Amino acid sequence: MKELILNYTREDLESKVKPKFRAKQIYNWIYHKRVDSFLDMKNIPQNLREELNEKYTIYSSQIVSKQISKDGSIKYLFKLHDGHTVEAVLLLMKDTQYNEDGSVKHLQKFTVCVSSQVGCKVGCAFCLTAKGGFIRDLEAGEIVEQILQIYKDNNIDSNRRVNIVYMGMGEPLDNLVNLTKAIKVFSEQDGLAISTQRQTVSTSGLSSKIEKLAKLDLGINLAISLHAVDDELRQKLMPINKAYNIASIMEAVRNFPINLRKKVMFEYLIIKDINDDLESAKKLVKLLNGIPSKVNLIYFNPYEGSPFKRPTQEDVKKFQKYLLDKGVICTIRESKGLDISAACGQLREQNF
Ligand code: SAH
Ligand code: SF4
C-alpha cells in the first residue's frame, strides 16, 4: 500500500517535497481542486508529479453505499483499502433560507460525524459499534478522507463553514496520535480550514488521554459521554469506568482548557427505567457544579436485539426541565437520520 498523502499536515509535506512551496500547491490541488491523481497537478513539474504518484496515494477508500434520510442527512459507508468498512454521516443541521427577493439569507449548515476506528475497544452495553469488537485504528488520512470524499460528493465549497464531530465509530482518544494529526490537517488554512473551534471530540472518558489532549492545547471542543452519575451504574453500562471512574473524569475535565463560549458538553444517554429518574438529574447538577458545561440529552436508539428501551418523551422533557430550573444549560439532541440508522450508536461495520 502506498502511503496516504492525507496523513500529512502542511509542515509534514514541506519536509517531503522541494522546494517547500510545492506543499502549498499540492494542498490546493487536493483540497480545493480535488484532483484524483498527482498526474493532474498541472503546475507541478512532471518529475515531481511522477515521484509523488509512485510513493503516495490521494484516495484510499471507496464510497460503497449512501443512504439519504428524509431530513436530508446522508450516511456513507466507506470501504477501506483492506476491505474493512467505516461509516460517516453528513448531517444537515439547517436548510438554506432565502430572502423575499430570492437571495440567500442563511446557507444550509453542515456537520459531519466521522469515525476514528474500525470498531471500538470500550464495549459499552448500549452501543451497536461495540458489538463488532475492535478491529483497528484509522490512519489520520483515513479520517481526513471521510470528510474530503463527502465534500467532493456533495460539491461543498472548501470555504464553507462545516463542523466536525468525532462521534462516529470508535473511541477517538484511543487513537490519539492519529486523531490529533487529523484535527491539524482539517484546520490547515490551505486545506479545508476547519478551525479547531469547530471540531468536537467525543469520548467515553479516558481520563489520562483527556489530560494528554489538554496539554496539546489544540483549541478543540470536548464532549464527555457520561450517561450515568454513579460509578456502579456507569460501570455496568460502560466497562471503561472500572479504569477511569467518574471522579477521575471530572478531575481531567477541570484541568482541560475550556472554550468558555462553547463549554464542555456532557452527553447523557437516557435509557428507559435505567437512568431517566429525577434523582439522577439531581446528582448530575451536583457533579457539574463549577464546570463551564452544557448537557446534551440523547434518546437511547434501540436496535435489533438491544437490551434497553427508548425513554418516553415525557421523562426526557422532565429531566431537561429539572436541569434548566437549576440553571444548567441543557438541550435534547435531535435524532438526525433515524430512519437510515445514521443516528448515534447505530454505526457498525457492514458487509455488502
Ligand atoms: N466513542 C465515543 C464517540 C462515539 S459514540 C463516545 O462514546 O463518546 C457517539 C455517541 O453516541 C456517544 O455519546 C454514545 O454514547 C452515543 N451512543 C452510543 N450508542 C447509542 C445508542 N444506542 N443510542 C443513542 N446514542 C448512542
Ligand atoms: Fe465505543 Fe463510544 Fe460505542 Fe462506547 S459508545 S462502545 S466508546 S463507540
331, part of any domain: yes
The whole-angstrom separation of Cα 124 and Cα 131 is 9
The whole-angstrom separation of Cα 132 and Cα 147 is 24
Dump pLDDT digits (tens) for 64-101. Answer: 999 998 888 999 999 999 999 999 999 987 666 777 88
Q: Are residues 24 and 169 in the same domain?
A: no
Q: Are residues 85 and 196 in the same domain?
A: yes
Catalytic residue ranges: 87, 344
Q: Are residues 192 and 226 in the same domain?
A: yes
- Nearest CA to 135 out of 123, 119, 122 is that of 119
Q: Are residues 112 and 177 in the same domain?
A: yes
CA distances from 258 to 123, 222, 255 (A): 28, 8, 9
Q: Residue 238 CA: which ligand 2 atom is closest?
A: 4
- Inter-residue contact 41 to 32 (CB < 8 Å): no
The DSSP-derived string for 40-74 is G-TTS-HHHHHHHHHHEES---EEEEEEE-TTS-E
**pLDDT for residue 345 is more than 60:** no
Closest C-alpha to ligand 2, atom 8: 170
16, part of any domain: yes
**pLDDT at residue number 130:** 86
**pLDDT at residue number 304:** 85
* Secondary structure in 3-state letters for 74-85: EEEEEECCCCCE
The whole-angstrom separation of Cα 3 and Cα 16 is 12
CATH code, domain with 34: 1.10.150.530
84, part of any domain: yes
Q: Are residues 244 and 271 in the same domain?
A: yes
**pLDDT for residue 11 is more than 50:** yes
CATH code, domain with 146: 3.20.20.70
Q: Are residues 125 and 267 in the same domain?
A: yes
127, part of any domain: yes
345, part of any domain: no
111, part of any domain: yes
Average pLDDT for the chain: 92
Q: Which of 57, 72, 92 is the last residue of a domain?
A: 57
Q: Are residues 322 and 188 in the same domain?
A: yes
**pLDDT at residue number 96:** 65
Q: Are residues 106 and 181 in the same domain?
A: yes
**pLDDT at residue number 67:** 93
- Nearest CA to 346 out of 61, 113, 70 is that of 113
Dump pLDDT digits (tens) for 225-253. Answer: 999 999 999 999 999 999 999 999 999 99
**pLDDT for residue 181 is more than 90:** yes
The whole-angstrom separation of Cα 313 and Cα 69 is 22
Number of compact structural domains in the chain = 2
Q: Which domain holds residue 263?
A: 62-340
Full-model pTM: 0.94
Q: Which of 22, 42, 57 is the last residue of a domain?
A: 57
Q: Are residues 152 and 197 in the same domain?
A: yes
53, part of any domain: yes
Pocket around ligand 1 at a 6 A CB cut-off:
126-127, 167, 171, 202-204, 225, 267, 269, 298, 300-301, 344-345
How many angstroms is it from 14 CA to the middle of ligand 1?
A: 37
How many angstroms is it from 172 CA to the middle of ligand 1?
A: 12
Residues 126-142 have a mean pLDDT of 93
Identify the residue with better confidence: 325 or 344. Answer: 325
Q: Residue 308 CA: which ligand 1 atom is closest?
A: 22
Hey, which of 114, 120, 146, 167 would you mutate to test ligand 1's pocket, going by the most ligand atoms within 8 Å of its Cβ? 167
Residue 171 banded pLDDT, cuts 50, 70, 90: very high
**pLDDT at residue number 352:** 43
Closest C-alpha to ligand 1, atom 24: 300
**pLDDT at residue number 342:** 56
Residue 32, sorted as left (phi over 0), alpha (psi -120 to 50) or beta, turns out to be alpha
Residue 191 banded pLDDT, cuts 50, 70, 90: very high
**pLDDT for residue 278 is more than 70:** yes
Residue 222 banded pLDDT, cuts 50, 70, 90: very high
Pocket around ligand 2 at a 6 A CB cut-off:
120, 122-124, 127, 129-130, 170-171, 204, 345
Relative to beta strand 74-79, strand 62-68 is antiparallel
Residues 322-340 have a mean pLDDT of 84
**pLDDT for residue 344 is more than 80:** no
CA distances from 28 to 43, 186, 188, 195, 254 (A): 11, 13, 11, 17, 39
Q: In 83-133, which ranges are E strands?
A: 85-94, 97-98, 104-106, 109-113, 117-119
Q: Which of 40, 57, 74 is the last residue of a domain?
A: 57
How many angstroms is it from 185 CA to the middle of ligand 2?
A: 24
Dump pLDDT digits (tens) for 24-74. Answer: 999 999 999 999 999 999 999 999 999 999 999 999 999 999 999 888 899
Cell numbers placing 37: 491523481
348, part of any domain: no
Ligand nearest to the CA of 122: 2
Strand order in the sheet with 62-68: 62-68, 74-79, 85-94, 109-113, 162-166, 199-203, 221-225, 264-270, 293-299, 329-332
Residue 335 banded pLDDT, cuts 50, 70, 90: low
Q: Are residues 113 and 95 in the same domain?
A: yes
Q: Are residues 48 and 113 in the same domain?
A: no
How many angstroms is it from 47 CA to the middle of ligand 1?
A: 47
The whole-angstrom separation of Cα 200 and Cα 220 is 6
How many angstroms is it from 131 CA to the middle of ligand 2?
A: 10
Q: Are residues 127 and 103 in the same domain?
A: yes
